[in-house]
Chains A and B, each alone.
Chain A
Amino acid sequence: MSTLDTASLIVVCGSGGVGKTTISAALGVRAALRDGKKVLVLTVDPARRLADALGLVEIGNKVVQVNLGDSKGELHIGMIDTKASWDDLVVRVAPSQDVATKVTSNSLYRNLTERFVHSHDYIAMERLFEAHERGGYDVVVVDTPPSRNAIDVLDAPQRMLDFFGSKLLKFLTVPTRSFVSSLAAKPFFLVANRILGAGFLGEITDFFTLFRTMEKGFVERNKRVMQVLRSDAASFVVVTTLENGPLHEARFLLGALRERNFSIGAVVANRAIDPQVADEVERVLVANDQRTMEEAAAQLLGSSTDRAPTIVETVRLHATEMVGNARVQRERLVSLGTAAGVEQVWLSPLRGEDITDLEQLRSIEFRPV
């Protein structure tokens, strides 16, 4: 049994463009409908038509319930708004309301929370933890934000811990008057002032001095986030397509997950050519030559057209190419399975249309390979 079926936290990761958001939503639908669970899916930026279909109209941290008809399970979906989430977080970890206000009104705060130490990644983990702490759901699925490097998401909480312990932060929060007397700091501040201007550097140090007063709150919270992610409660799903780039990333990610002792629930090979279909097509192509198929086509089409030979030729050409692609994909699936070292490599077949509603989400099949 995969940890995916028992976990109360599911983290979906993978490189950009592989369908993480769709797979996250589909996993949520599956847990709600198949297992009758109460599910929360936290997502970053769902496709507009899917968001509309699910009733997600507002931007912000609001959670909405999706109508599943008379199902026993429940599906709730929430967006992750980085800015709003940071504001909430600051209020939570600041030693006083006064500090929280000072931090959120600092001119650098907005700029820094948008990009500072992978803040999107950090917030995704934070929201997951918050939902877990608050309880009320059987399963929380989080769709991780598009990151330059998928591993950044996993390391975000630790990175924040490291930042609080770093020399850099201590250095930046040295009381201003001792800059001049500090021999170690002097050359740095001379050059930095020259390049950035004295005022800017002052603002930065002011901000970090404030930020540092939240250290205790941040550190305690982060330790708990890491604990939960390493516990049996959490399960990680790696999504990939069977193209070289995403596969490369997926292998790397799987190794990194194992290194960090995170539990891997499943690997999903998304948009794969259905191997059973490819096998069947290959068998048909071997057993029937162009002639036989032309005759069959002519019979099906009747006397309405003389294009049967052309159509059959096209069909055969395309089908042969797809069978070839499927063969390449199969080799990659096998090597992915070996790399994953998990029981579950799932396959979600290539589709002709965009996923734009609940019915389509429901129809996403996860098939063990």
Chain B
Amino acid sequence: MTTHRLLERRLLFVTGKGGVGKTSVSVALARQAVRAGKRTLLVEMDDKGALARLFGSTDLTFEAREVEPGLHAMRMTTEESLREYIRLFVSNPLVSTVGPLARILDFVANAAPGVKEILAVGKLCWEVREEHYDIVIVDAEATGHIVAQIDAPSILSGLVQVGVIREQSKWMQEILRDAARTGVVVVSTPEEMPVIETHQLINEIEERTQVSIAAVVANRSPRVVLQERDIESFNTLLDNAPGAVLEAPARLVQLALQRRATATMHLTSLAARANQSGVPFLNLSEVGGADDRVVVDALTESLGAELS
């Protein structure tokens, strides 16, 4: 079995409009990477704990741990990435005089533009550069914030003239701008707003940054409820249905057909955008069920089928 080219990259940022299922898709991607024999690191970028819940475990920490065989997961926090950064890059005598970290942290998180982002993205690039893992998959920020994140080294080197950070933004940019290593996976659902945001985001990333798009994913694609050849008969049935025993259940199918037709229009638009950028378009079926972990299992299989 050959590995899909998407999983040959070293760093994948998974983004999309809020609510489209970024976290689930990140997990499915990570599991597929593990199946392809990759040492895999999955990173949660915020502190919602959604990723930990999917693994049925308590909260993740900055220190990566194996949550499933071959799959390592960590949670990014500004405080710990700053701590690690200082340990790695600032000379020892200085560190001992820093005093309480809280003040610097407060400063970084609230007042210094771009520093928080670069600490996070720096940690990710560091893992890639040191080759601790074959692939790093990031459950990244939503569409509104992702550009500030992946482009942090460029933004900051525009604002800062000298200093350690400026020097370091160079090697980070090298990794981020290398299409063979780094890419953004844009997740959408086949609904109007997420699709619009997907188009806007891809345009923005391609125009403003030198980071490349790796794939477009349509999540929760409504399944086919009725074969194409039966649709006409079904409509006849529906027209004559009022008062018949079939009416109520048929109305539900009608709703599903409408949803599917609306979704098809949006899927076409997403596929066209992926094609325009020359990247894979992955269409993942909607999975019903009460338990999120079961849903993610099914999603992993759906993704596997699309990748093979």
Contact = CB atoms under 8 A, between A and B. Distances in A.
B5 interface: no
A307 B233 contact: yes
B233 A281 contact: no
B103 interface: yes
B162 A292 contact: no
A204 interface: yes
Contact of A352 (B94, B95, B262): B262
B226 A311 contact: yes
B194 interface: yes
A305 B86 CA distance: 75
A284 B251 CA distance: 12
B161 A281 contact: no
B69 to A, nearest CB: 26
A256 to B, nearest CB: 14
Interface of B: 17-20, 46, 48, 50, 86, 89-90, 94-95, 97-99, 103-104, 106-107, 110-115, 141-142, 144-145, 148, 155, 159-166, 189, 191-194, 196, 225-227, 229-230, 233-234, 236-237, 240-241, 244-259, 261-262, 288, 290, 292
Given A148-B46, A314-B230, A354-B192, A328 B106 contact: no
A60 interface: no
B19 A16 contact: yes
20 contacts: A21-B193, A47-B192, A48-B196, A108-B159, A146-B17, A148-B142, A168-B111, A172-B107, A184-B99, A191-B98, A197-B162, A245-B292, A287-B245, A293-B245, A296-B244, A301-B237, A308-B233, A319-B253, A352-B261, A352-B262
A277 interface: yes
B244 A310 contact: no
Given A47-B193, A196-B112, A284-B247, 4 more contacts: A193-B163, A200-B112, A284-B245, A311-B230
A112 B98 CA distance: 25
Given A111-B159, A245-B50, A195 B164 contact: yes
B262 A354 contact: yes
Contact of B111 (A204, A277, A284, A287): A204
A315 interface: yes
Contacts, number: 214
Nearest to B237: A300
Interface string A268-304: 0000000001001100110110001100110011001
A111 B158 CA distance: 12
Contacts of A352: 254-259, 261-262
Contacts of B97: 187, 190-191
Nearest to A294: B246
Given A315-B253, A319-B253, A280 B193 contact: no
A56 B142 CA distance: 25
A190 to B, nearest CB: 6
A295 B163 CA distance: 81
- Chain A interface size, under 10 / 10 to 19 / 20 to 34 / 35 or more: 35 or more
A318 B256 CA distance: 9
Interface in A154-175: 163, 166-168, 171-172
B240 A300 contact: yes
A190 B148 contact: no
Contacts of A112: 111, 113
B163 A196 contact: yes
Contact of B104 (A149, A192, A307): A192
A326 to B, nearest CB: 9
A194 interface: yes
B149 to A, nearest CB: 11
Contacts of A288: 245
Contacts of B249: 281, 284-285, 315-316, 318-319
A116 B114 CA distance: 10
A301 B233 contact: yes
Given A146-B144, A301-B233, A49 B241 contact: no
Contacts of A365: none
Contacts of B17: 16-17, 146
B250 A198 contact: no
A324 B20 CA distance: 23
B161 A200 contact: yes
Contacts of A351: 255, 258
Contacts of B46: 148-149
Given A16-B142, A194-B90, A277 B252 contact: yes
B105 to A, nearest CB: 10
Given A149-B48, A167-B103, A191 B225 contact: no
A354 B193 CA distance: 9
A304 B191 contact: no
A311 B237 contact: yes
Interface string A40-55: 0000010111000000
Nearest to A349: B255
Given A195-B163, A354-B262, A15 B94 contact: no
Contacts of B257: 352
Contact of B252 (A21, A198, A308, A322): A322
A220 interface: no
A116 B245 CA distance: 60
